[in-house]
Amino acid sequence: MRSLQRIRVGQYYPLRSPLHRLDPRTKLACTLALLVSAFLVRRPGGMILLLLFCLAAIYVAKLPPGQTLSSLRSVALLLLITATAQLLFSPGREIWKWGPLSVTNTGLMNGVLYSLRLVIAVLLLGILTMTTGPVEMLSGLESLAAPLRRLGLPVRDAAMVLTAAFRFLPLLLSRAGDIALAQEARGSEFSGRNPARRILDLVPLLVPLFSACFRDAEELGAALAARGYKGEASRTHYRSMRFRFADLAAVSAVAAVVALSLWLPA
């Protein structure tokens, strides 16, 4: 349970870097394009190229590498399950066999691809949230989804909910870690080997955690009401978003990486 406090997805780092200065719409669009391409690429070379581009983005953004990569710990179990399932249960040419278990060439390829996809998705979301402030994120989402207003969809409210959810994630994980430490001090065991016992021990953790979440939601609603928030009503922005040459360069670089990752041969 202490590992919950190491997860960094959703925590903003106010640094001075080229990625921090980009228009939030550029970062959102580039992140979406890279996420889609990660799930379209079917060759290891393309996936490795996308992974190297994510690592380069971490370096350009001047983010702490250790804390950024530590977000992968939250999906380590999912990575293991995904890789094992693909490795052992995919049909293809058998390259290794031990009793009823066998590894095929297709399973080996799928295990690598699906694991890299999950790693790239976590890194991209982490880079986005660590380089984009909550107000910028909200403004960017509103601007990109503005055409949907013609269909009568509550774009501003949806953007507000998504932004609040992202920003409450670090607080939620930190609070879960604190509650777990307090329960362990009272004798609870969250690392036992008995699965049934571990499920029962989660009850003292989930009840106060949900209670705290509902309390935070009520406080956020009261704060928005006190500041005159009216949802879809016309609003102005303190800072206007502008598409600069750096944004054009970023979009061009992402487009080139996406095209190359899809084109690379097997």
Confidence of residue 188 (pLDDT cuts 50, 70, 90): low
Which pLDDT does position 206 carry in this prediction?
79
| Tens digit of each residue's pLDDT (9 = 90 or more) over 32-72 | 999 999 989 888 888 899 999 999 999 999 988 877 777 77
Higher pLDDT, 82 or 5: 82
To the nearest 5 percent, what fractions of the chain are helix, strand and coil? Answer: 75, 5, 25
Higher pLDDT, 200 or 119: 119
Which pLDDT does position 231 carry in this prediction?
64
Higher pLDDT, 238 or 78: 78
Which pLDDT does position 218 carry in this prediction?
86
Token couple for 150: 């013609």
| 3-class SS of residue 28 | helix
pLDDT at 2 over 50: no
pLDDT at 16 over 60: yes
Q: Which residue has the tokens 């719409």?
A: 25
pLDDT at 118 over 80: yes
Question: In degrees rounded to 5, what are phi and psi of residue 228?
Answer: 80, 25
Which pLDDT does position 3 carry in this prediction?
45
- What is the average pLDDT value for the chain, to the nearest integer? 78
Mean pLDDT, range 209-214, rounded to an integer = 84
Which runs of consecutive H residues, i.e. helices, occur in 22-154?
24-40, 44-60, 65-69, 76-89, 105-131, 134-144
Confidence of residue 143 (pLDDT cuts 50, 70, 90): confident
Which pLDDT does position 97 carry in this prediction?
67
Higher pLDDT, 204 or 13: 13
Mean pLDDT, range 204-220, rounded to an integer = 82
| 3-class SS of residue 71 | helix
User: How do the domains of the chain map onto residue ranges?
Assistant: 2-233+242-263
Mean pLDDT, range 142-163, rounded to an integer = 77
Mean pLDDT, range 164-171, rounded to an integer = 74
Confidence of residue 93 (pLDDT cuts 50, 70, 90): low
pLDDT at 157 over 90: no
Q: Is the whole-model pTM more than 0.85?
A: no
Strand partners, 101: 98
CA gap 53, 49 in Å, rounded: 6
